[in-house]
Amino acid sequence: MAATDPANNASLALAFKAAESLSFRLLFSFDYSTPGSPWKVDDIVVLLRNFTSSPAYFRHEGNLPLVSAVEGAKNADDWVTIKKKVDGLFFVPDWASLDADKAVKAAKGVADGLFNVQAWPNGTADMTTDIDRKYLAALGRDQVYMMGVSPWFYTNLLNFGGTNWLWKGDGLWDLRCKSWPFSLDDDSHCSWVIHYVLGREGWCD
């Protein structure tokens, strides 16, 4: 969700209304990588106060509202303030611009877990679990790992950074859905794994 998108308020109200009628669950993922970023603390606080009380808002283990972010590691300290102003949040950001061991320590460990958005191999390479295991190794016992799952990734948005590529996706859905969660080593400190399904088509989720 982009910070300056003029459709945010109206779209969110409609989305939550529809979700409530269908017993569907939604959560916020604040995008810090789009034009108009970063998000302002007060804007995030208002949205969280307005919508996390909805029965359609997704809650971690049925308890705390789950909130994520796409990048924004440079603004990690903002989330210390946000979590003070909106009590009881469960914050699991994608801070892929930082190594997992640094992301987990950002703003004195403000994140309750980390989201790995890298659900695709790079170019023609095969997908491995190497990046997942780096996250698992960095996370503490009481922190969670949110693993991205996606069947494909292509983009052709020449007006958005000139991006135009297709990454290898044959068999990717089977690998990261049917074969996962993978066996964790006995010394793993990650408490559990969340699967987050990503549909990347021209960078539009």
Rounded to 5 degrees, what are φ and ψ at 168? -60, 125
Locate the DSSP E strands across 84-162: 90-91, 113-116, 144-149, 153-157
pLDDT per residue rounded down to tens, the chain (205 residues): 889 889 999 999 999 999 999 999 999 999 998 878 899 999 999 999 999 999 999 999 889 999 999 999 999 999 999 999 999 999 999 999 999 999 999 999 999 999 998 888 877 888 888 888 899 899 988 899 988 877 777 777 776 666 777 778 777 777 776 656 555 443 443 444 555 555 444 333 3
Domain assignments of the chain as residue spans, ordered by start: 1-115, 118-205
Separation between Cα atoms, residue 47 and residue 90, nearest integer Å: 15
Q: What does 14-81 look like in DSSP terms, one character per residue?
A: HHHHHHHHHT--B-EEEESSSTTPSPPHHHHHHHHHHHTTSTTB-EETTTEEEEEEES-GGGHHHHHH
